[in-house]
Amino acid sequence: MRALLVVNPSATTTSARTRDVLAHALASDLKLEVATTEYRGHARDLARAAVESGNTELVVALGGDGTVNEVVNGLLHAGPAPEQLPRLAVVPGGSTNVFARALGLPNDVVEATGALLDALREGRERTVGLGLAAGTPGTEDEGVPERWFTFCAGFGFDAGVVGRVEQQRERGKRSTHSLYVRQVARQFFGEHHRRQGTITLERPGEEPLRNLVMSIICNTAPWTYLGNRPVYALPDASFDTALDVLGFTKLSTLTAGRHGTQLLMSTPERGPHGKHAVSLHDQDSFTLQSQAPLPFQMDGDHLGLRTSVTFTGVRRALRVIV
C-alpha cells in the first residue's frame, strides 16, 4: 500500500527520535513517503496533492487535532467520495487528541503506531461522518470558504477560550490542560459572559431558538478531555449520525458554575442539562447567527470572529483506519 505520512514537527508530545522510529515502523509495512509540515495549512496542501496524484491509498497524520483537521480538509477538498479517496489514519501527537481517542485509538504514539499496523494487516476501517461549516448566504460571511471539522466547533464562549490559548502559545506557553483552565477563567471573568444572548439558531421547518449566549457543535462524544477524563457536552453525538448542538441561554456565575460542574461530572449517559441548556441531536443542517461578531473555532483552531455560520452534518464522509 502506498502511503503518505504527514508529520507536524511541532507536535506537543513527540520528539524527532520518536518520529523517526514511527516512520521506520510504518515503512516496514508500507510504501511510505514522509512529508514534514513547514507552515500553517501545509498538511492540507500535502493531503490535497496526495489525492490529486491518484496513487496514494493512505494518508497518515502524525500530530494533534489541528494537523488532523488540515489533512481532512485536504482529502475532502473536492468533496466526500469515500470509495475513491485515500483512507485516513491518525497517530496522536498533540496535547489532547480528541479525534483519535474518540475513534478508540491509544493516546500514546508507540501504542497507536502498533494499533495502526495491526489494523492495516487485519483490514480494519470504518466510514465516519463529519461536519461542514460555511459562510451563510446573504450575510457578510457569505464568502468564507467551506471547512470540514472532525469532532467539534464552537461559536461564542468556548471559541474565545481557544483564541486566548492560541495567544498564549504564540508567546511561548506550552499547550497544557492547566493553560486551558486558566483561560476559561479569564474568558469568563472578562466581558463576554455579561452580555445578553445574541445567538439565534435556525433550522429548516422549525421555530428559531433565540438568545443563546454560546453554542457547541459536536460530531462525536466525548467533546474533549481533561487529562484522561472525557468530557461529554453532548453524549449522544456520534460519527454515525449528523451533528449535535448544545446551547446556553444564560451564563451567569451561578449557571456557569452549575453547567461547569455538570461537564466535569458528565458521563456517556448524561451531559449538561437544566432550563438554561438546550440540546439538539442528529441535525442535518442549521445556521447560527449573532447580532454581534463572536469568536468561532473548529477542532480547537480559532478562526476569528463571525456573525453567521451554516453547518451541515455529512454522513459517511471519509474512511478511517481503526
Task: Tell me which residue has cell 446556553.
Answer: 248
Q: Report pLDDT digits (tens) over 27-86.
A: 999 999 999 999 999 999 999 999 999 999 999 999 999 999 999 999 999 999 989 999
For 117, the grid coordinates are: 499496523
Whether residue 194 has pLDDT greater than 70 = no
Kindly report, residue by residue over 251-294, the tens digit of the pLDDT. 888 888 999 999 999 999 999 999 999 999 999 999 999 999 99
Q: How far apart are CA 69 and CA 179, in angstroms?
A: 22
- Dist CA 106 CA 96 (whole Å): 12
Domains of the chain, start order: 2-123 (3.40.50.10330), 131-317 (2.60.200.40)
Tell whether the model's pLDDT for residue 195 goes beyond 80.
no
Average of per-residue pLDDT across 88-103: 95
Q: Which three cell numbers stand for residue 29?
A: 509495512
Mean pLDDT of the chain: 93
Angle CA 130–134–135, to nearest 5: 165
Q: Which residues pair with 127 in a beta bridge?
A: 319
What tens digit of pLDDT does each residue of 206-235 get?
999 999 999 999 999 999 998 889 999 999
What is the residue-wise DSSP string for 258-297? HHHHHHHT-BTTB---STTEEEEEEESEEEEEEEEEEEEE
